[in-house]
Amino acid sequence: MSPQPENLAAPPVAGSSSAGGGHNEFAPEERIVLLKVAHESILSALEHREISLDSPSPHLAEPRGAFTTIYLHGLLRGCVGYVLPVVSLYRTVAETARAAALEDTRFSPVNLEEAPALEISLSVLSRLKVMRPEEVEIGVHGLVVSHGGRRGLLLPQVPVEHQWDRVTFMEQTCHKAGLPLNAWKEGATLEAFTAEVFGDRELR
């Protein structure tokens, strides 16, 4: 059973980067495969047909968390992801792409006419690691703050785009969780992750 998807208040950029690492884990061929299944998952849902979600390689079969962001004519159209690595990355991308297109409640569902013009960006997450506040690095770490059944997540790209410092980043992640801004220093759990980000734009 797949995990409950989450959406994001602020999306990643549809480009290519490796936040938190000096090299890319995923080869260009693997990126193409993942972007292709993301598009195909959306199209198949709109056409009411099934596709295989069996991973084409052992690497893409590894359980990983990931977020899929979709854009239409340069504007955000949906962003949904799985934080925890519960199912294969291949299935995670397919399911989150479909959810971003059809289930992100901030937007009306994508229709069949819009599907060919969609641009997709993927953020593949590392495993979560408990982090001390002073260890958080802007542009390297994404954050998860959790406390009392509430949880908020922001990707590594978000503080860079908004030009936040470390404290603001932690405060805004608390805000995303529906917690007081200072919850990160008042007992909330602070976890960090890195993300490899790539999208359709780099393949053109």
Sign of torsion, CA 9 15 18 19? Answer: negative
pLDDT above 70 coverage of the chain, percent: 88
What local confidence, expressed as pLDDT, does residue 56 receive? 97
Q: Which residues contact 14 (CB under 8 A, 6 or more apart)?
A: 69, 71, 119, 120, 121, 199, 200, 201
Of 98, 77, 174, 83, give the one whose Cα is nearest residue 133: 174
Residue closest to 44 by CA, chosen among 103, 108, 98:
98
Domains of the chain: 6-125+195-203 (3.30.700.20), 129-193 (3.30.1490.150)
In percent, how much of the chain has pLDDT > 90?
Answer: 83
What is the structure's pLDDT at 22?
Answer: 53
Full-model pTM: 0.79
CA–CA gap between residue 92 and residue 97 (Å, rounded): 8
Determine the pLDDT at residue 84: 86
Residue 136 has pLDDT above 90, yes or no: yes
Specify the pLDDT at position 148: 95
Structure tokens at 198: 């790539």
pLDDT in tens, 20-46: 445 789 999 999 999 999 999 999 999
**Would you give the distance in Å from CA 61 to the centre of its chain?**
18
The whole-angstrom separation of Cα 147 and Cα 152 is 9
pLDDT at 23: 73
- How far apart, in whole angstroms, are the C-alpha atoms of residue 135 and residue 192? 9
Q: Across 73-155, where does the E strand assignment appear?
A: 75-82, 118-125, 129-130, 142-147, 150-154
120 forms beta bridges with 70
pLDDT at 155: 87
Q: Is the pLDDT of residue 117 over 80?
A: yes
Rounded average pLDDT over 56-73: 96
- Lowest-confidence pick of 9-13, 88-92, 116-120, 194-198: 9-13
